[in-house]
Structure 1
Amino acid sequence: MSPILVKAIQLFLSLSILIILHELGHFIPAKLFKTRVEKFFLFFDVKFALFKKKIGETVYGIGWLPLGGYVKISGMIDESMDKEQMAQPPQPWEFRSKPAWQRLIIMIGGVTVNLLLGFIIYAMVLLVWGKEEISQDAFPNGFAVAEQLKQYGFQDGDKILKLDNEKPDNILNVSRQLVVRGANTVEVKHANGKKEVLSLPDSLGTYLYTQGALYPLTPRIAPVLDSIIPDGPADRAGLRAEDRIVSVNGKAITFWDELTHKIKNSNGEPLRLVVERNKLTDTISVKPSEDNTIGIAPKSPIKREDITKKSYSLAEAIPAGVKFGYWQLRDYVSSMKFLFTKKGATEVGGFGTIAKLFPDTWDWQGFWMSTAFISIILAFMNILPIPALDGGHVMFLLYEMITGRKPSEKFLEYAQMVGFFLLIALLLYANGNDLYKAIFK
């Protein structure tokens, strides 16, 4: 099955699960407070529904437009914009007739479910599959350091011992932590054996992101090819998997980062590579493409013995899952600052970007990890104080509870319309970015 189709199916299933459970977060407290729920829909039923059935006072159904879902609660200004109902005198079973604290619980129910669901899924993944950890020993030659980091004292060949006095459990995550989470101090061991504690500015993450240094620390590995892009410069020149690059233009090559540095600075000029293959050497000329790449990928140095698997009991998995989910949420919120940069605005993505979170082949562990992450993202996005989102309703309810004055229904109608159009604009922009990248990049 095509990887694109596998990703699409996983995305569809994941979003369906999350939407239903999110709406249940509104539905259940609404019913507990004896508030009438007129509709419960997966996806939007604009003009018509694929399926619907009325059970009791509620119509349950599946719409044809897969952009979300909704519950229509009587006496509430929502995306249905049912002005006719709101023009009638309030009824005891309507949302607007309930105390503010009950309305608040109904509105935060969806976000609460998404947040707790993310924590629960992470805990269950740890319980079932455990967690793989990769120690510093997997990379005896340390890290190659991006130029943007060297001004702070980092050197090629550094080993990362601690970030903010904590030893990293997975050494491959240190780049992400520096860019997204940040660190005030990093203890390193230089190639000469000297240990040093480096101090870093709070703005380092944004600086690295805007400079395009998303992976400022990459493992220093041997220049051995793992795969070649078909019909790329390397493929046309005759390079093959398992080839080891010995030198470039007469300059000896020891590590992969030295090879990529030579390629990036080639300015499109042909490169003379000395290649070792089956214990024999050969000289191959490669002309880089316009973006100074030749279409090669390195062979991973990680061996099975470098990976340790940590198992969890149920009592251990629950707090570990909550902790993992907390850091995923915190990292995601921290990364939002990048949106206010020129580069960040162009990286906003829609459904295509979300689909990339899922593995190319069906893998339940990967599916549930991605689902948990999306659930946490949905919780954060929905609680933003934007009209038409749960957070917008919560904002107006908190205003009412603090001031004792309820915003007029006319004001809420206009706010709902403004929020709705903002969300549509964002949706079009995000998915437009995906389409642009798919066509032109």
Structure 2
Amino acid sequence: MISLIAALILLTLLFCIVILLPWYKKPHGLHVNQNRQTELYQDKLAELKQDLAAGNIDEQAYQTALDDLKLQLASELAKSQNSSSIQVKRGYLLMLPLITLAIAIAIYAWQGKLTQMQQFFHAKENTADFAQKLLAGNESFSQAELESFYIGLRDKLKNNPDDAMGWMLLGRVAYSQGQLENAMHAFEKVLAIEPDKYSAQMSYAQVLIAINDESYFKKALTVYQRILTRTPRDEEALVMAGYVAFQLKDKNTAKQYWRSALSLLDKSDNRVAAIAQTMPDLAQEFGIRAANSTPAQSNQTPGTADSKQLIVKLSLNEKTKQALAQFKYLVVFARPQLSGPPAAVVRMPINGEVPSQITLSDKNAMMPTFKLSDLNQVYVTVRLSKDADVTLTEGELETHSEAFELSDKIQSIELSL
């Protein structure tokens, strides 16, 4: 910010110099012109004296010519003096730097830069307070507070780049705001300082998955494999490694990870049902009976009283109703971006009819560390699927909502398919 102000002042001064320099050259030009007029007078005066001495003119003619020459010189000098008002207006010209600076500030304010500067200084003053709230588990941040904290923390880390906790907080805030690239770079900073920090590895992998690119999926799988090398019975890493492998269409590897996860997870764990629904042969292998809701139900089991709930009211147009028989599953999920893993997902078999509304809550999370209540903004997707594969295939129907804020405990949204 200081460098920006310095650049603005420098440009203002340069602009003033460019304008003032021609004006300040005028005294020198006036002086040169006066000298030239004087020299011409002296030359003509010498010629008159020579003519008088040679007898070419008499004394009276000499005096008359001399008077005319003096009048001509006086007239030329007066004309040159009147053509330049530099000495009269120089005081006003000295105000030009102030005027130019005022105009620059006005333009800066018109573009909203002054407001951004105020936000920046406010963020710097309150960064410590925001950090304490966040570390204390207080997540009651407004979007403006999150943005302010992000700006202040980013500036603080410029002067303290080895602060692993600071980079960790920055990554989490960036992720919550949907700034995936910034979040990824922040978690990479943490891992450069503390390569084996578990929370940073898990958060980093989560961001890589959210970017929804094959190369980043591969990076995420590498991260989970590194975790599992140290702690092979890490349930969360096993579940997510299977999810990533499944997204990479490597079902055999996904099955290996999920088989290990199912051998460790409690049968009441929501992730067990999610894995069973995604890979029915594993459900059969482990004797898991998926908790399928019947299509006639209008609601699913709500979440806990202190969690966010999202009620999706679904309607079908005539064309979809006519094609409904070719679909076997209804999938409804919410996520912070239109890519990456969902924070809540409901997947149910259908038999020619679909429920009028579906409730998403923390009970529908695939990961305990990534739930609906963790999100401030979500997109909701509704899909009619032909098979048990979670990926969208040709011929399946899908619709998305616009992004909207999750501000209340219970909210509803209407979607048509």
TM-score normalised by the shorter chain: which range applies? Answer: under 0.3
Calculate the TM-score normalised by the size of structure 2.
0.23
Higher helix share: 2
Q: Which has the higher strand share?
A: 1
Normalised TM-score (structure 1): 0.22
Name which structure has the greater RCO, CA cutoff 8 Å, separation 6+: 1
